[in-house]
A and B are shown apart, each in its own frame.
Chain A
Amino acid sequence: MASELMNVTANALVWISSTLDAPTRAVFFGVPIDGHLVVEVLLVVVILFQLTRKSYKPPKKPLSEKEIDELCDDWVPEPLTPQISEEMIVEPPTLESAAGPHAIVDGKEVVNFASANYLGLIGNENITDSCVGALEKYGVGSCGPRGFYGTIDVHLDCETKIAKFLGTPDSILYSYGISTIFSVIPAFCKKGDIIVADEGVHWAVQNGLYLSRSTVVYFKHNDMKSLEATLEKVTSRSKHPEKVRRYIVAEAIYQNSGQIAPLDEIVKLKEKYLFRIILDESHSFGVLGNSGRGLAEYCGVPIEKIDIITAGMGNALATDGGFCTGSMRVVDHQRLSSSGYVFSASLPPYLASAAIAAVNYLEANSSVLSDLRANIATLLNELSNVPGLVVTSHSLSPIIFLKLKKSTGSDKTDMHLLDSIANQVLKEDSVLIVTTKRSNLDKCPLPIGLRLFVSASHSEADLLKAAASLKRVASLVLS
C-alpha cells in the first residue's frame, strides 16, 4: 500500500518535472511558451482580480424617523445664560444731572471722574444752542441709513469740518463710537491679509480683527522692539507682498492702560516693512497736540503718513458717533463696503451739529488744552504716593490708570478690592471713580485697575479732594 502510494507520487513528480523541463512545445506570436509562463500569467490574473474587488465596508444605515424623534426628545439644552451669582448683580450709580465735573448721584453732589469729558464741553452754551436749533429743525432721529435719504446736510458739513480740522481730504461719519473701528477693519482687511496688532487693544478692535478673518499676530503692549521682531517674522514668511495687504493696528491712547503709542517709531517701521497703519484716536482726538489735532501733531508726523485714522466722538467732543479719515480712496471705499455705515441708520442730526460746534470751540479756544494738561500734571503729582497703588499711565494721558502694587494673584479678588475702594470713595468722600470692567468675551491680557478721567473743567480743589480721598481709602483697604 505504502509502496504503491510512493510509486504514484514518484510517477507524478517525474511527470510534472518532465512537463516543466520539456523543450518548448508551443510558439505563440513568436514568444516561446514555457510551462512556467502559464502559471505566472494565471498568478497575475488572480492578483488583478483581487485588486479590483471592493474592500469590505459595513453598510451605512441612515437614521429612521423614530430614532431622530428619540434623539430630539433626549437632547437637553443648556440654559441660555448661566446661573446669576452675587458678583453679577452690579448696579451702577444713577446720575440725576448732566455728567459734568460735578454731578448729582442719589441726591448727593459728587465730583465726577467717570466721564471722558476731557475738554469740559458737557453743558457748554454753544453746543447746547446748536443742538436746540438742530432739534427744532430736524427732529431727533434721521430715520434712514445714509444711502436712503438719511444723509442730512449737517452730516456732510460735519465730515468736511473734521477733514479740514485734521488736514485730510475727506472723512466719513459713523453713528456710534464703538461701531466705527469694528466696521472699518473688516472693510479693509479680508481673508488672507496680515494684521499686526497690539495685545492691549480694546474689545471693539478685537471684534473687528475677528470679523475680518485675516491672520492676526499680536505684539507686546506698546513695545517697539517686539513690534519690529514681529514685523520681521511676518514679512520673512510672506511671499507675495504685492498681493497681500498688511496692516498695523494700534490705539493712540490705550483705553486699557493709559499708554501712548510712539507714532514716529511706528511710522518708521511701517515704511521700512511696507505696512499700512490703522490708528484709533478715540481718546487722543482733541487732547494731544498743540491744537488738539491728535497723536500725529503731538509726535510731529505729517498726517498723510497715517493711512487710516478712526475715532469715537463720545469723549473729548461730548457728543456721540465716530468718524474715520484718510485719503480719498480710503474714505470712498467705506461708503459701500463698511457694514456699520451701509446697514445702519445715520447719526442723529443734532449730534452731528454738536460735533461741529465742539470742533469750532476747540479751534477758537485752544487754551482749554493747556488747562487739561495742567490738571493732569497736578493730579499725577498728587497720586504719586498712594499706598498700595501705582500709576501706570503716560504722563500726558487724560486717563489716569492705577493698578495694585501687589496683585493678590487672582483677578477676582483684585476686582473685589478695587470695587470696595471705588465704592468707599464714592460713599464716604463723594468722588466718583471707576474700575476697569472686563467682559468675559474680552481677551485683553493687561491688568485691571482704577481709572480716573481728568477733565479741563475740574478745579484744583476737585483734584486735591480726589487724591486725598483715594489715599485715605487705599490705606484703609489695602493695608
Chain B
Amino acid sequence: MVRLPYTTALTTLFSYGLLFAFGQLRDFFRKILDWIRKPKDLLKGYAPICLGLEDFYVRRLYLRIQDCFGRPISSSPDAWFDVVERYSNDYNKTLHRTEKTTRCLNLGSYNYLGFAAADEYCTPRVIQSLKEYSSSTCSVRVDGGTTKLHVELEELVARFVGKEAAILFGMGYVTNSALIPCLIGKGGLIISDSLNHNSIVNGARGSGATVRVFQHNTPSHLEEVLREQIAEGQPRTHRPWKKIIVIVEGIYSMEGELCKLPEIIAVCKKYKVYTYLDEAHSIGAVGQSGRGVCELLGVDPADVDIMMGTFTKSFGSCGGYIAASKEIIQYLKYSCPAHLYATSMSPPAVQQVISAIKVILGEDGSSRGAQKLARIRENSNFFRSELHKMGFEVLGDNDSPVMPIMLYNPAKIPAFSRECLRQNVAVVTVAFPATPLLLARARICISASHTREDLIKALEVISKVGDLIGVKYFPAEPPKHLNQNHNKLE
C-alpha cells in the first residue's frame, strides 16, 4: 500500500481545497448571472439531471483537465500510434478534432503481448472467419448464435486455463455483473477486496447478497472477517449463511500488485468458502507460459472455484470467459442472463482469441509466443527497476506489467500528461474517482511489442518531465550503469 508523507498530503489537500473554493466562487457567479439574465427554461417543472453538487467535480475540476483524457487515436493501439490533436475555444469545455496527428510512444494501452495491431498469424485467419461467418450472428447464444468457433474457443480456453469447461461472453464487464447474481443471492455473503473493479462491485450489488469488504491483499484481515461473519450469521436473523464467496483479482489494475493468492486460498479452504478469481489483467501476461497468476504463484487451478478473465488485454480482442467445473458451467449455460439474452460474441473476435492462444501455446508452429512472454517479463522488470533508480515512487510487484507512478498533487496530473505528450510519449493519468482523492497517479502499461530503444526513450522523457514537475519523491541512485557502458566502449 502507499504511504503518503505528511507534507505531500498537506500540499495536496491544500490544492484540492483551493480548487474547491474557486469552483464554489464560479458557481456563485453563475447563479447571479442566471438570475440577472433569466434564460428561457424549456425544462420548467422538471428536476435537472444533476442537482446541486452532484456534478460539481465534473464541472469545476475535471473539465479543466479534460484534454488529458479520452484522447482519440487514428491507428491501431500498437507500440507507436497516432494521437489526434484537439483544440478548444472555450477553456476545455468542448474539444474539437483536427486532421493532424502526432506519432507517439504508447504507454497506456492494454496491449501486453502485442496482439493489438495486425498480426501475421492472426489477421489472415480473422479475415477468413469474417468472410465465412460475417461480423455478427445477430442472435443470442442459446438461439442461433453458437457457431463452431464459439465451441472451439470454449474448449481451448478451458485447456489453456487448466479447468474442465468454460463459457464465453461478449464483454468483460457484463461477465462479472451478470454472473455473480447467478451464483449467489439473498442469504449469501460476498467478501470482496477493497480495491476491486467496478464490474465486480456492480455484480455484487445486483445479486442481493450481503457484501463485506476486507483490507486490500491482507489474508489475515480476510480470516478475521470470515470468522466474525460465520460466527454471527446473517444480519438481524443470525441464521447461518447459505454460502460465502470471496472475490479477488489477479493483478489490480490501479496498483499493479499481484494478489497474495496462495495465502488467500489456504484461508478459504480452511473455512469452506468459495473463491472467485478475476484475471482480467493477468491472464496471458504473467506466468511461465502465460497462464496467469496461478502459474506464477504456484497455485493449482483446481483450488480456485471460478476463474474469470477477459480477452481485451493480452489477446487483443474483446469479450470475457468463465472457467470452472463442468457442473457449474452447465448451470450457467442454463441460467446466466448474459448467455440467454445477450448477442453472442462476434465471430472474428472469437477467431482472434483462438489464434492468439495458439500462438502463446506455440501450437502455430513457431516460438513467437514464448518470445513474447519472455519479452514482456524482461521489459516490465527493466522498466520498473530503472524507474526505482531514478527516484520515482512506483507501485506494484516484480513481473507485473502495470506500473503506477505516484503524482498525488492535482496540478501535476495535467502537467505530467501534457509535457509527456509534447515529447511524443503518451501516458495515462488517473485521478479521482478511479483512485482515492489524494492518490492520483500516472499508470504505465508495458507491452511485449516495446523494444529496448522505445523503453530507453520513454525513460529519458519521463525522467526529464519528472524533474520538471517534481515527482521524484525518493532519492535517486546515480546513473552508474550508463557510465559503466561508456567505460566499456572506451
Known contacts A242-B47, A318-B135; A88/B312 CB under 8 A: no
Q: Most chain-B Cβ atoms within 10 A of its Cβ — which of A140, A203, A339, A343?
A: A140
State whether the Cβ of B321 lies closer than 8 Å to any Cβ in chain A: no
Distance between Cα atoms of A139 and B353 in the complex (Å): 12
User: Which residues of B93-132 are within 8 A (CB) of A?
Assistant: 97, 106, 108-111, 115-119, 122-123, 126-127, 130-132
The answer to whether B135 touches A92 (Cβ under 8 A) is: no
Minimal Cβ-Cβ distance residue in B for A174: B171
Q: How close is B81's CB to chain A, nearest CB, in angstroms?
A: 8
Distance between Cα atoms of A241 and B106 in the complex (Å): 49
State whether the Cβ of A98 lies closer than 8 Å to any Cβ in chain B: yes
Instruction: Please pick, from A138, A141, A347, the residue contacting B75 in the complex, using a CB distance under 8 A.
Output: A138
Cβ contacts under 8 Å, A82 to chain B: 331
The answer to whether A139 touches B138 (Cβ under 8 A) is: no
Q: How close is A227's CB to chain B, nearest CB, in angstroms?
A: 19
Instruction: Please pick, from A153, A188, A211, A318, the residue contacting B136 in the complex, using a CB distance under 8 A.
Output: A318
Distance between Cα atoms of A188 and B46 in the complex (Å): 14
| Chain B 30-65 interface 0/1 with A at a Cβ cutoff of 8 Å (1 = within) | 000000000000000111011100010010001000
Known contacts A149-B71, A178-B174; A81/B327 CB under 8 A: yes
The answer to whether B272 touches A77 (Cβ under 8 A) is: yes
| Chain B 327-365 interface 0/1 with A at a Cβ cutoff of 8 Å (1 = within) | 110111111111011110110110010000000000000
Instruction: Please pick, from A81, A149, A179, A337, the residue contacting B171 in the complex, using a CB distance under 8 A.
Output: A179
Stretch at the interface among B3-11, B195-203, B395-403, B476-484: B195-203
Cβ contacts under 8 Å, A343 to chain B: 173, 197-199
User: Which residues of A122-154 are within 8 A (CB) of B?
Assistant: 122-123, 127-128, 131-132, 135-144, 146-153
Known contacts A81-B331, A96-B148, A178-B338; A141/B349 CB under 8 A: yes
The answer to whether A80 touches B242 (Cβ under 8 A) is: no
User: Which residues of A168-223 are within 8 A (CB) of B?
Assistant: 175-179, 182, 188, 202-204, 207, 210-211
The answer to whether B136 touches A440 (Cβ under 8 A) is: no
The answer to whether B146 touches A344 (Cβ under 8 A) is: no
User: Which residues of B261-276 are within 8 A (CB) of A?
Assistant: 271-274
Cβ contacts under 8 Å, A246 to chain B: 47
| Chain A 334-366 interface 0/1 with B at a Cβ cutoff of 8 Å (1 = within) | 011101101111011011001000000000000
Cβ contacts under 8 Å, B111 to chain A: 143
Known contacts A156-B72, A179-B171; A72/B227 CB under 8 A: yes
State whether the Cβ of A42 lies closer than 8 Å to any Cβ in chain B: no
Q: Most chain-B Cβ atoms within 10 A of its Cβ — which of A148, A177, A335, A343?
A: A148
Minimal Cβ-Cβ distance residue in B for A182: B177
State whether the Cβ of B305 lies closer than 8 Å to any Cβ in chain A: yes
Q: Chain A interface secondary structure, helix, strand, loop or mixed?
A: loop
State whether the Cβ of A258 lies closer than 8 Å to any Cβ in chain B: no
State whether the Cβ of A102 lies closer than 8 Å to any Cβ in chain B: no
Distance between Cα atoms of A90 and B81 in the complex (Å): 46
The answer to whether B330 touches A128 (Cβ under 8 A) is: no
Known contacts A98-B134, A115-B138; A330/B337 CB under 8 A: no
State whether the Cβ of B145 lies closer than 8 Å to any Cβ in chain A: yes
State whether the Cβ of B141 lies closer than 8 Å to any Cβ in chain A: yes
How many chain A residues sit at the interface, stated as a range, is 35 or more
Known contacts A103-B144, A207-B206; A135/B126 CB under 8 A: yes
Known contacts A122-B138, A139-B76, A139-B118; A348/B317 CB under 8 A: yes
Distance between Cα atoms of A345 and B243 in the complex (Å): 32
Known contacts A339-B198, A437-B142, A441-B182; A176/B171 CB under 8 A: yes
The answer to whether B173 touches A114 (Cβ under 8 A) is: no
Q: How close is B196's CB to chain A, nearest CB, in angstroms?
A: 11
Q: Most chain-B Cβ atoms within 10 A of its Cβ — which of A136, A320, A339, A342?
A: A320
Minimal Cβ-Cβ distance residue in B for A355: B135
State whether the Cβ of B183 lies closer than 8 Å to any Cβ in chain A: yes
Q: How close is B16's CB to chain A, nearest CB, in angstroms?
A: 18
A-B contact pairs, 22 of them (CB 8 A): A77-B242, A99-B144, A123-B134, A138-B117, A139-B118, A142-B318, A143-B110, A143-B316, A151-B70, A151-B71, A153-B84, A155-B72, A176-B343, A178-B178, A203-B340, A242-B46, A242-B47, A315-B138, A337-B55, A345-B312, A350-B135, A441-B182
B residues near A (Cβ < 8 Å) are 45-47, 49-51, 55, 58, 62, 69-78, 81, 83-84, 97, 106, 108-111, 115-119, 122-123, 126-127, 130-148, 150-151, 170-174, 177-178, 181-183, 197-199, 202, 205-206, 226-228, 230-231, 240-245, 271-274, 305-306, 310-313, 315-318, 327-328, 330-338, 340-343, 345-346, 348-349, 352, 426, 428
A residues near B (Cβ < 8 Å) are 63, 67-68, 71-72, 75-82, 84, 87-90, 92-100, 103, 112, 114-117, 122-123, 127-128, 131-132, 135-144, 146-153, 155-156, 175-179, 182, 188, 202-204, 207, 210-211, 241-246, 274, 276, 312, 314-315, 318-320, 329-330, 333, 335-337, 339-340, 342-345, 347-348, 350-351, 354, 432, 434, 437-442, 453
